[in-house]
With several copies, the nearest count.
Chain A
Amino acid sequence: MNMTLTREKESPAIATGAVQPAASPEKVYETSYLNLWYGENHALKNINLDMHQNEVTAIIGPSGCGKSTYIKTLNRMIELVPDVKTTGQIKYRNRNILDQSYKVEDLRTQVGMVFQKPNPFPKSIYDNVVYGPRTHGIKNKKILDQIVEKSLKGAAIWNEVKDRLHENAYGLSGGQQQRLCIARCLAIEPDVILMDEPTSALDPISTLKIEELVQELKKDFSIIIVTHNMQQAARISDRTAFFLNGEVIEYADTNTIFSNPTDKRTEDYITGRFG
């Protein structure tokens, strides 16, 4: 192998600029001793993580380490996969969501989600945004109109689509579709927004837009974002959790993780030794 890394180990690969969060704000999610199996495959091992209000929490790690699995557990989307078994606890606002008496529909009304690949419904832009509110029983046309405007503005896409609200969402570009999906998620006025690699299918410009948006959104929401792009985590998150093989190797302020990781594996990963 003709490959040598010239940089010394001590200097971190990427210095981070995320502002250190002021004290520890209220906890939104508290995960304790979470284990998850796909059939025989032990995909999450003893996860302990707390997430905080009005912060961006990033989850990084190499492919297959369980990032998506974990974030999908936070709104119990994981239940759509057959043969999944969990043990442990995830408290959302002090109630254990893994308790079967907790209605998933309730949970998901509070916790919105944005997916890796934009997945608008094959309907008009307007119908995409009002789908959630309508489902929740809001019929009033005027309120719905307001919701559409507010959500699309919130997702920084209002100006681009305000003249074509009734055209099919599939006519939008990938980046626009992803922002529409964010708007759709904002329309239900959630408390937390989960994002699973929301920019990995997008071009650089759209990616930048969404990153800016995330920074905006955290004023009103708590955000948990999965990314395989360390630079992105460094740029936008307050805290970062590093997953490896279904375990949390390290969880700390983004600053700390990127400038001074305690675990050798974290360091190896963020300096690009694997992944």
Chain B
Amino acid sequence: MKLINKSHVAKKMPVRLAVNTICKGLFFLATLIGLIVLAILFYRIFTQGIGHLNGDFLQNFASRKPEEAGIKAALIGSIWLMAVVAPVSLMLGVGTAIYLEEYARKNWITTFIKVNISNLAGVPSIVFGLLGLTVFVRALALDRSVLAAGLTMSLLVLPVIIVASQEAIRAVPRDLREASFGMGATKWQTIRKVVLPAAIPGILTGGILALSRAIGETAPLVVVGIPLFIAFLPQTVLDTFTVLPMQIYNWTSRPQEEFQQVAAAGIIVLLILLIFMNSIAVLIRNKFQKRY
């Protein structure tokens, strides 16, 4: 007894195949959308800003005169900010991830920490700004320093790093750990010598994505109140500074037309920095990616 009418099935086949092909096309189009937007964005910004982009632009401080305006303070400031955010957020993020993946027992505290982290990932950046202002700038009297802003930003991007690192640590094959334990290595030795090295590509990818977010954020820094114009560079993490996105935002709000082009040039610098960081991530990912 046959319950399935084979000719019926055969008749439907071409339609199913066609639907599959059409959807494949749609999925591809959707993927293109992102790429097209990126292309348009880049095209517009480059055509507007490329004229202003020269050595002077990188070496000058901000100025009221568009032709003399430069991005030095903001660029160096952003790099200083990253120099605080990167180690702090990576250390805390990876530490937390190791704790959650390797040490934490299944109890309510662990569950609470996990829920808490995924919730923090969704807290608006501006709320972190309010936190930074109250805790770092005021309570800890760090003033509007690189350190205060860096710590604020670190907390902001921490969840991203934690989640990425957790994934990376979880993906390290069990048998590598077993091999290490099997030779009498302790837990921490195993983590330090086997798990972390194997998880590094994933951790760094997450880290760089987090830093890309930190480098482009404006709102929390506005709230923290870091200054916009300075014509000197920070010497220590306790000095004040300014960053690229704030400088760019300020230029865009100037009445003079030329400042719009200066802003575009600033955006190009920011994008180059961003792409530079992303390509490091991709390089690391591709270089260290081991097939287990």
The verdict on A181 contacting B183 (CB below 8 Å), with A106-B13, A122-B198, A135-B193 known, is no
Which of B4, B8, B178, B184 is the one whose CB lies under 8 Å from A105? B184
Which of A82, A106, A115, A170 contacts B184, CB < 8 Å? A106
Q: Does B37 interact with chain A (Cβ within 8 Å)?
A: no
Interface string of A151-183 (1 = CB under 8 A from B): 000000000000000000010000000000100
Q: Are A119 and B183 closer than 8 Å at their CB atoms?
A: no
B180 at the binding interface (Cβ < 8 Å):
yes
Chain A 99-118 interface 0/1 with B at a Cβ cutoff of 8 Å (1 = within): 00001111111101101010
Determine whether the beta carbon of A75 is less than 8 Å from that of B179.
Answer: no
Nearest residue (CB) in B for A143 is: B3
Contact call A80/B4, Cβ cutoff below 8 A: no
Q: A105-B17, A105-B186 are in contact. Are A77 and B178 (CB under 8 A)?
A: yes
Which residues in B have their C-beta under 8 angstroms from that of A122? 176, 197-198, 290, 292
A135 pairs with B189, CB closer than 8 A: yes
B173 on interface, CB distance cutoff 8 Å: yes
Asked if B2 is at the interface (CB within 8 A of a chain A CB), the reply is yes
Query: Which residues in B have their C-beta under 8 angstroms from that of A150?
Result: 1, 3
Partner of B173, one of A107, A119, A136: A119
Establish whether residues B292 and A115, one from each chain, have CB atoms under 8 Å apart when the complex forms: no
Q: Choose from A105, A112, A121, A136 the contact partner of B176 (Cβ within 8 Å).
A: A121
Contact of A115 with B9 in the complex, beta carbons under 8 Å: no
Specify the chain B residue showing the minimal Cβ separation from A105: B184
> Which listed residue (B1, B106, B183) contacts A132, Cβ 8 A?
B183
Beta-carbon contacts of A135-151 to B below 8 Å, as 1s and 0s?
A: 11110000100110010
Range of interface residues on A (Cβ < 8 Å) = 35 or more
A242-269 CB mask vs B (1 if < 8 Å, else 0) is: 0000000000000000000000000000
Judge whether A188 is part of the interface by a CB distance below 8 angstroms: yes
Name the residue on A nearest B9 (C-beta): A136
The yes or no answer to A52 lying at the interface (CB within 8 A) is no
Chain B residues with Cβ under 8 A from A110's Cβ?
A: 184
Contact A131 B180 (CB under 8 A): yes
A106 to B175, CA, bound (A): 20
A134 to chain B, nearest CB (A): 8
Task: Determine the distance from Cα of A137 to Cα of B132 in the docked complex, in whole angstroms.
Answer: 44
Residues from chain B with Cβ under 8 Å of A184 in the complex: 179, 183
Q: Are B181's CB and A77's CB within 8 A?
A: yes
CA distance A134 to B16 in the complex (A): 12
Q: Is the CB of A109 within 8 A of B182?
A: no
Q: Does B115 contact A (CB under 8 A)?
A: no
Q: How far, in Å, is B285 (CB) from chain A's closest CB?
A: 14
A115 contacts across to B, CB distance below 8 A: 175, 178-179, 182
The answer to whether B194 has its CB under 8 Å from any CB of chain A is yes
Cβ contact within 8 Å between A119 and B176: yes
Q: Are A135 and B185 in contact (CB under 8 A)?
A: yes
Query: Which chain B residues lie closer than 8 Å to A170 at the CB level?
Result: 290-291
Does residue B44 face the partner (Cβ distance < 8 Å to A)? Answer: no
CB distance from A102 to the nearest CB of B (A): 12
Assembled-state Cα–Cα distance A104/B185 (Å) = 9
Q: Is the CB of A107 within 8 A of B184?
A: yes
Q: Say whether A133 faces chain B, with CB atoms less than 8 Å apart.
A: yes
Task: Mark A51-84 against chain B: 1 for CB-CB distance below 8 A, else 0.
Answer: 0000000000000000000000001010010100
Say whether, besides A77-B181, A131-B183, A137 and B16 are in contact (CB < 8 Å): yes
A143 CA / B9 CA spacing, docked (Å): 14
| Residue from A103, A117, A133, A143 within 8 A of B17 (CB atoms) | A103
B2 proximity list for chain A (CB < 8 A) = 189
Taking a contact as CB atoms closer than 8 A, the residue among A80, A146, A185 that contacts B3 in the complex is A146
| B127 CB to nearest chain A CB (Å) | 37
Which residue of chain A has its CB nearest to the CB of B11? A137
Task: Tell which of B1, B181, B185 touches A80, judged by Cβ atoms closer than 8 Å.
Answer: B181
In the complex, the answer to whether A113 meets B184 with C-beta atoms within 8 Å is no
Question: A146 CA to B184 CA in the complex, in Å?
Answer: 20
User: With contacts A103-B17, A131-B183 known, is A137 near B9, CB below 8 A?
Assistant: yes
> Which residue of chain B has the shortest Cβ distance to A82 in the bound complex?
B106
CB-based nearest B residue for A147: B3
Q: Would you mind naming 15 contact pairs between A and B with Cβ atoms under 8 Å apart?
A: A77-B181, A80-B181, A109-B13, A112-B183, A117-B175, A119-B178, A131-B180, A132-B185, A135-B16, A135-B183, A135-B189, A135-B193, A136-B12, A137-B9, A147-B4
> 19 new A-B pairs (CB below 8 Å) besides A122-B176, A188-B184?
A77-B181, A104-B181, A106-B10, A108-B182, A108-B185, A109-B9, A113-B178, A115-B179, A121-B198, A122-B292, A131-B180, A131-B185, A131-B193, A135-B180, A135-B185, A136-B12, A137-B8, A137-B12, A150-B3
